[in-house]
Amino acid sequence: MTVAAWTRSDGDGPHALFTGGVHGDEYEAMAALRALIGELASRTIRGRVTIIPVANAPAFDAACRTGPDGMDLARTFPGKTDGTVTERIAAELTEHIRSADFYIDLHSGGASYFVYPLVGYTLHPDARVLAAQRRMARAFGLPLIWGTDPRLNGRSLSAARDAGVPAIYAEYLGGGRLSDAGVRAYMRGCRRVLAECGLIGDDGEREPDGSLSQGRMVEDAREGSGHLQTRHTAPIDGFFEPRARLGARLGPGEPLGEIVDALGTHRITIPAAHGGAVIAIRALPRVARGESVGVVLDEIDGREPLELPEWPRDPL
């Protein structure tokens, strides 16, 4: 198994790694990184940049989240060199991650979800790594910055965690489509991180005072924070009909949406389990029992209420 990677190196300097397409149905990252290769081909780079636009080619070929073995690459790191196709891809990507000084992994909601534009990182126990991750996340420039439980395993960021490599990930919409705004935001964010880490010159995207525009930062070290697929799960099979927009602030018990059976005779409201802002909502109407229909970012006691700009109901 060989993952298709583009590398550009101009002398001494840090090594930045970008990946997209860890899931085969997440297209914003693939398009943005492909375009970034074209941009960087003619720029001076103070160090080395490696870009892998489609990390999970078998899943992309199938237009699915997972490859033919049914394994989720984002739960398979560090992988196995003699394992299934997904395990072998994870092992190869782990070696790329271990070789980097900075790592950025780009995602979206895939075919099943819309995810509020955010950039995240683990609350790494090494203060040096954590400070670098916060700096990278602020530079990326999305409206929500989310630091979460560092103990989650199987992820690309857990491979980076174990290697001591500062790493961030990003999410931008999804729904099985391709958001032009998401592609532009990802290209801009990648350039800004490269500039912040000293690999390219500043692109003139700083504010007049020399700062970078920042999103709202939320850090939550509680166990399982950052695990989106376990929130607000469906109690039955059926059709999901959303009632909340991305970014909307819900109070406890307010409806995320409803699940209805094929004839429309049985309808169940899915209430918000707690107050907070909606950062993910199911885009695929078909939902199976146990699947998540949305995520409300918890408002931890004593923390300022989370206010985010709402995203349109049809965000494309």
CATH architecture type of domain 230-298: Beta Barrel (2.40)
> Which pLDDT band holds residue 11 (cuts at 50, 70, 90)?
confident
What CATH code is assigned to 6-219? Answer: 3.40.630.10
- The pair of structure tokens assigned to 227 is 């695990």
Please count the other Cβ atoms lying within 10 Å of the Cβ belonging to residue 173. 25
Which residue ranges make up each domain of the chain?
Answer: 6-219, 230-298
Proportion of the chain in helix, strand, coil states, percent, rounded to 5:
25, 25, 50
At residue 284, does pLDDT exceed 90?
yes
The mean pLDDT of 26-39, rounded to a whole number, is: 96
The mean pLDDT of 186-211, rounded to a whole number, is: 80
The mean pLDDT of 288-314, rounded to a whole number, is: 80
Quick one: angle between helices 156-163 and 85-98, nearest 10?
Answer: 40
Contact (CB, 8 A) for 79 and 89: yes
> Which pLDDT band holds residue 209 (cuts at 50, 70, 90)?
very low
* pLDDT of 208: 47
At residue 315, does pLDDT exceed 70?
no
Q: For the chain, how many residues are written? A: 316
* pLDDT of 301: 55
CA angle 28, 31, 33 (to 5 degrees): 105
* pLDDT of 12: 87
Please count the other Cβ atoms lying within 10 Å of the Cβ belonging to residue 84. 16
Mean pLDDT rounded to a whole number for the chain? 91
pTM of whole model > 0.85? yes
Residue 305 burial (C-beta neighbours within 10 Å; 0-12, 13-18, 19+): exposed
pLDDT per residue over 217-266, tens digit each?
A: 999 888 877 766 667 999 999 999 999 999 999 999 999 999 999 888 88
* pLDDT of 280: 95
Contact (CB, 8 A) for 312 and 247: no
The mean pLDDT of 134-156, rounded to a whole number, is: 95
* pLDDT of 205: 55
* pLDDT of 223: 82
* pLDDT of 214: 67
Contact (CB, 8 A) for 18 and 190: yes
Give strand ranges (E) for the chain.
Answer: 6-10, 15-19, 47-52, 102-106, 113-122, 144-148, 167-174, 216-219, 238-242, 249-250, 255-260, 267-271, 276-282, 286-287, 294-298
Contact (CB, 8 A) for 169 and 142: no
